[in-house]
C-alpha cells in the first residue's frame, strides 16, 4: 500500500492508515494536518494517500493503473498541490502568498463533480538550487516513484516543499476555506503540511485530524509500560483514571521517556490490540478513534497542557468511546 520510505521510517503512520484504508476508504478524513520537521516526508505521504484513494486496482504500491501513473508523474487531475507557486489562476499575480483568488478557484473546482477522490495538498514551496540535504530528499522521493510538481534538471532548479505558516497562508485565505473543509463534497480531502501546529490558525486546526510525522522513527517497541498499566484495555475504570495517569507519568519519568513518546507507545499498544481484532470492524473503528484521541492529546502537549491532564482527558475520552 505505502511506499518503502513510509513503510520503513513512518511505521506508525503506515500501520494506522493501512488499517483505516483497508477497513473502509470512505472514512478517510476530510481534513488532515501533517506536522513535524520533515516536510518532504509529509509531501510524499500526501501523494501516497492520493494514490491509494484513486487506484483502480487493489492499491498495491507498484500498481500501474492510469491513476497511479498520473500520480507518479505528479500530473493527476484530482491530486492537486496548492502553494504560493502552484494552482495559480491566470488573473492572480501574487507570488508570496496562497491568495484568496486561489481559494476561490479551488471552491469553483469543487462545485463541479469528479469521478476521483480529490486531494488538495496545501503547503509552501520554493523553486531553487537544492542544498545537499534537499538533494538527498529529492532522490528519496524519486526512488519511491513520486515526483514534485516542477523540476529543471538541466539548470539544477527544483521545486522544494516547505511548511505552511501564517505569513504565506494568511487568515483571510485560510478562513475562506473553512466551510469547504468542514463540509466538503464527498471524496474530497485537504492535507496541510506544516512544521508546527501553531503555524496554522486555530479554526483550521479544530476542523482537522492532526498527525505527527516523526523525522526519525522511534525504534524502541517495548510496550511493557503500557501493558502493565492498561492490560484490560479497552476496559477502563473511570474511577481509576487519575491513578492510571499518575502511574504512567511516573514510570515514564523513571525511564526517561518524553510524554510524547509515552503517548506514541500507547497508540502502538492500541494498534497492536486492533490488529488482533481485525475480524471485528466495530472494535477496530473504535480503536482507531482512540488512536486519534491520543493524537489530540499529543497536540495538547504542544500547547503546554500538563502531561497528566492531557493523559487524563484522553483516558476519559477512551472510556466514553466504549460505553
Ligand atoms: Zn493503481
> N- to C-terminal Cα distance for the chain?
33
**DSSP-derived secondary structure letter, 26:** G
Average pLDDT over residues 211-229: 73
In angstroms, rounded to a whole number, what is the distance separating the alpha carbons of residues 268 and 274?
A: 10
Q: What are phi and psi of 88, to 5 degrees?
A: -100, 125
Longest dimension (CA), the chain: 66
In angstroms, rounded to a whole number, what is the distance separating the alpha carbons of residues 62 and 145?
A: 9
Q: Is residue 119 over pLDDT 90?
A: yes
The pLDDT value recorded for residue 36 is 84
Vertex 115 angle, CA 111 and 118, to 5°? 65
* 149-152 long-range contacts, CB within 8 A, separation 24+: 149/74, 149/81, 149/85, 149/86, 149/125, 150/85
50 CB-contact burial (10 Å; exposed 0-12 / middle 13-18 / buried 19+): buried
pLDDT in tens, 300-310: 988 889 999 99
C-alpha of residue 194 to centroid of ligand 1, in Å: 28
Q: Is residue 213 over pLDDT 70?
A: yes
The pLDDT value recorded for residue 239 is 95
C-alpha of residue 144 to centroid of ligand 1, in Å: 15
Q: Identify which of 231-235, 292-296, 302-306 has the greatest average pLDDT.
A: 292-296
pTM score of the predicted model: 0.73
More confident residue, 228 or 54: 54
Average pLDDT over residues 173-202: 93
| Ramachandran quadrant class, 125 (left: phi over 0; alpha: psi -120 to 50; beta: rest) | beta
- Which residue in 215, 213, 197, 212 sits closest to 133, CA to CA? 215
pLDDT in tens, 136-182: 999 999 999 999 999 999 999 999 999 999 999 999 999 999 999 99
The pLDDT value recorded for residue 272 is 82
In angstroms, rounded to a whole number, what is the distance separating the alpha carbons of residues 179 and 168?
A: 20
Q: Is residue 220 over pLDDT 70?
A: no
pLDDT in tens, 57-87: 999 999 999 999 999 999 999 999 999 999 9
C-alpha of residue 54 to centroid of ligand 1, in Å: 7
Instruction: Evaluate whether 35 touches 210 at the Cβ level (below 8 Å).
Output: yes
Q: How far is the CA of 157 from the CAs of 119, 129, 215, 300, in angstroms?
A: 26, 5, 25, 39
Please count the residues of the chain.
Answer: 323
Q: Is residue 216 over pLDDT 80?
A: no
The pLDDT value recorded for residue 225 is 85
Average pLDDT over residues 218-227: 70
C-alpha of residue 71 to centroid of ligand 1, in Å: 9
- Which residue in 287, 269, 264 sits closest to 231, CA to CA? 269
The pLDDT value recorded for residue 218 is 47
Q: At what angle do helices 259-275 and 11-23 cross, to 10 degrees?
A: 40
Least confident of 33-42, 185-194, 274-283: 274-283
Bond prior to 303 in cis (omega within 30° of 0):
no
Instruction: Supply the mean pLDDT for the chain.
Output: 92
Which band of pLDDT confidence, cut at 50, 70 and 90, is reported for residue 217? very low
Q: Is residue 311 over pLDDT 90?
A: yes
% of the chain with per-residue pLDDT over 70 = 98
The pLDDT value recorded for residue 219 is 44
In angstroms, rounded to a whole number, what is the distance separating the alpha carbons of residues 110 and 118?
A: 9
In angstroms, rounded to a whole number, what is the distance separating the alpha carbons of residues 69 and 74?
A: 9
Cell digits for 219? 525504534
The pLDDT value recorded for residue 221 is 63
Task: Give how far the C-alpha of residue 140 lies from the chain's centroid of Cα atoms, to the nearest Å.
Answer: 19
% of the chain with per-residue pLDDT over 90 = 73
C-alpha of residue 93 to centroid of ligand 1, in Å: 36
Average pLDDT over residues 84-93: 96
State the CATH class of domain 4-212. Answer: alpha beta
Question: Which H or E run includes 29?
Answer: none
C-alpha of residue 47 to centroid of ligand 1, in Å: 13
C-alpha of residue 25 to centroid of ligand 1, in Å: 14
C-alpha of residue 168 to centroid of ligand 1, in Å: 34
What order do you get walking across the sheet with 157-162 strand by strand?
124-128, 157-162, 151-152
Amino acid at each position: 500500500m505505502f511506499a518503502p520510505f513510509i513503510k520503513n521510517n513512518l511505521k506508525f503512520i503506515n500501520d494506522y492508515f493501512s488499517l483505516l484504508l483497508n477497513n473502509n476508504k470512505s472514512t478517510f478524513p476530510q481534513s488532515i494536518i501533517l506536522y513535524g520537521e520533515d516536510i518532504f516526508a509529509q509531501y510524499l505521504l500526501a501523494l501516497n494517500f492520493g494514490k491509494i484513494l484513486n487506484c483502480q486496482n487493489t492499491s498495491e504500491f507498484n500498481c500501474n493503473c492510469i491513476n497511479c501513473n498520473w500520480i507518479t508523474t505528479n500530473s493527476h487531475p484530482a491530486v492537486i498541490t496548492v502553494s504560493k507557486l502552484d494552482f495559480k489562476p491566470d488573473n492572480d499575480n501574487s507570488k508570496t502568498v496562497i491568495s484568496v483568488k486561489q481559494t476561490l478557484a479551488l471552491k469553483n473546482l469543487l462545485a463541479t463533480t469528479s469521478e476521483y477522490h480529490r486531494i488538495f495538498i496545501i503547503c509552501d514551496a520554493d523553486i531553487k538550487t537544492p542544498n545537499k540535504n534537499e538533494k538527498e530528499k529529492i532522490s528519496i522521493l524519486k526512488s519511491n516513484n513520486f515526483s514534485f510538481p516542477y523540476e529543471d534538471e538541466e539548470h539544477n532548479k527544483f521545486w522544494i516543499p516547505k511548511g505552511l505558516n501564517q505569513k504565506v497562508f494568511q487568515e483571510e485565505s485560510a478562513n475562506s476555506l473553512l466551510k469547504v473543509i468542514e463540509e466538503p463534497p464527498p471524496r474530497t480531502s485537504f492535507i496541510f503540511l506544516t512544521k508546527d501546529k501553531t503555524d496554522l490558525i486555530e479554526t483550521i486546526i479544530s476542523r482537522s485530524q492532526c498527525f505527527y510525522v516523526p523525522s526519525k522513527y522511534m525504534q524502541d517497541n517495548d510496550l511493557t509500560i503500557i501493558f502493565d498499566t492498561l492490560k484490560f484495555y479497552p476496559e477502563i475504570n473511570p474511577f481509576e483514571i487519575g491513578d492510571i495517569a499518575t502511574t504512567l507519568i511516573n514510570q515514564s519519568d523513571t525511564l526517561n521517556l518524553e510524554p510524547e513518546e509515552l503517548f506514541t507507545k500507547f497508540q502502538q499498544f492500541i494498534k497492536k490490540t486492533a490488529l488482533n481484532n481485525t475480524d471485528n470492524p466495530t472494535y477496530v473503528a473504535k480503536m482507531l478513534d482512540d488512536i486519534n484521541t491520543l493524537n489530540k492529546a499529543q497536540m495538547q502537549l504542544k500547547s503546554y497542557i500538563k502531561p497528566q491532564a492531557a493523559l487524563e482527558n484522553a483516558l476519559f475520552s477512551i472510556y466514553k468511546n466504549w460505553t
